Each structure stands twice: as structure tokens, then as C-alpha cells.
């Protein structure tokens, strides 16, 4: 069983790098359309959101399947969300803005959607930094309180994504429905524990 878990984790680690490899191949093959910088930026942001959603989905899946081993993969998906969000930010700072800090400051001031992106990233950064077992032990009960901020990060990320898009809003709306479902599920679980007779799932 330990070997199977180890192999599955290795598979998921490798699978998490496929979107990046795919992006590199598309860059090398000039397959990113008329605005390649924007395409790279959006794709990295999309994968940050997808891994964030996978992280949020662990608890409902664990509750439904009763497979406690699923929690072993929450940290992995969360770190991949941080990884792709960091690449998303790095592309914005270096490729898009050329590390011109004055222009970056003006862009942030004039583009409110960036504020929500910064908020989401700072939360994800805090969660990534405190993800090791040593940090969990040191923070104690505060660790769980801090990691509940992932829902604020998800909401801020949706607003960040939704606000900057022009045209097809289907994908951010799908992300919004997913987070509402996942948050709703957690509320129902909490209500069931608090009022076991009144709330039935």
C-alpha cells in the first residue's frame, strides 16, 4: 500500500509539470497566437486556478469516499497552485513589464483587478510557506485558521480573472460555480456536525 501511495504521488508530481512542458513546447513551436505574452500569462494563471480548485476539492472527495489518504495530496496540489501562480507573477514582472517598477506601480494603481491578484497570491504564498509539518506544529490551532483563507484566495483569484477578461466569461463563471459548490459542501458538513439531527446530506 505504501509503495502504491508513493508511486501515485510520483505520478501526480510528474503530471503537475505537464502543463508547463506543454506551454514550453507551444512557445518553441510559435503556437501561442498573435499575443504570445498574454497567452503565456493567461495559461499560467489558469493552471494556478485549476490546482487551487483541486486543493479545495480534496476535503469533499475525502468526505464522500472516506479515503483519508487523499489528504496526503492536498499539500502537493496547493504547492502546484503556488508554483503556477508564481510563474504567472514572474511573467508579468519580467516579460510583460520588463521589471520597470515605476510602470508596474502605475499599472497596479490604475488596474484594480491586479489588487485582487496580489491578495490571492499573498495568501497562497503564506499557505505555501506554512505547509511543512514543522510550520503546522509550530502554529498549532492557528494553522487551520490560516489555511481557511484559501477560500478568500480563491474568491480574489476569480475576481482578478473575471475583471481583466474581455469577451468569453464562461471559464471564470465555471470557476465561480465550483468554488460556491465546494464552499457550500463544507458548510453542509459543518452544519451536519453541529446539528446532526436537523441537517441531512
Q: Give tens-digit pLDDT for 22-45.
A: 999 999 998 888 888 888 988 999
Q: What is the mean pLDDT of the chain?
A: 83
Determine the pLDDT at residue 93.
93
- Which of 191, 201, 187, 161 lies closest to 52 in space, CA to CA? 161
Q: What are phi and psi of 180, to 5 degrees?
A: -65, -40
> Which whole-number Å values give the CA distances from 6 to 3, 57, 69, 76, 147, in the listed order?
5, 21, 11, 13, 25
Residue keyed to cell 452544519: 191
Compute mean pLDDT per 10 residues along the chain, 201 residues long, and list them: 64 93 93 87 91 86 74 87 96 90 88 90 94 86 86 88 71 75 72 60 46
Determine the pLDDT at residue 2.
45
Q: Considering the entire predicted model, what is its pTM? A: 0.84
For residue 28, what is the DSSP state?
A: H
Longest dimension (CA), the chain: 60
Amino acid at each position: 500500500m505504501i509503495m502504491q501511495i508513493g508511486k501515485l504521488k510520483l505520478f501526480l508530481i510528474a503530471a503537475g509539470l505537464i502543463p508547463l512542458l506543454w506551454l514550453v513546447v507551444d512557445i518553441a513551436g510559435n503556437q501561442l497566437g498573435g499575443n504570445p505574452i498574454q497567452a503565456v500569462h493567461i495559461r499560467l494563471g489558469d493552471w494556478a486556478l485549476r490546482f487551487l480548485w483541486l486543493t479545495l476539492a480534496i476535503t469533499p472527495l475525502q468526505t464522500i469516499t472516506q479515503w483519508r489518504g487523499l489528504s496526503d495530496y492536498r499539500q502537493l496540489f496547493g504547492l502546484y497552485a503556488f508554483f503556477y501562480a508564481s510563474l504567472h507573477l514572474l511573467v508579468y514582472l519580467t516579460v510583460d513589464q520588463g521589471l520597470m517598477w515605476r510602470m508596474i506601480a502605475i499599472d497596479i494603481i490604475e488596474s484594480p483587478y491586479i489588487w485582487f491578484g496580489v491578495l490571492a497570491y499573498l495568501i497562497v504564498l503564506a499557505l505555501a510557506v506554512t505547509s511543512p509539518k514543522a510550520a503546522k506544529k509550530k502554529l498549532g490551532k492557528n494553522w487551520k485558521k490560516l489555511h481557511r483563507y484559501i477560500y478568500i484566495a480563491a474568491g480574489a483569484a476569480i475576481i482578478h480573472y473575471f475583471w481583466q477578461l474581455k469577451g468569453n466569461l464562461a471559464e471564470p463563471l465555471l470557476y465561480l460555480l465550483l468554488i460556491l459548490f465546494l464552499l457550500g459542501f463544507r458548510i453542509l458538513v459543518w452544519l451536519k456536525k453541529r446539528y446532526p439531527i436537523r441537517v441531512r446530506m
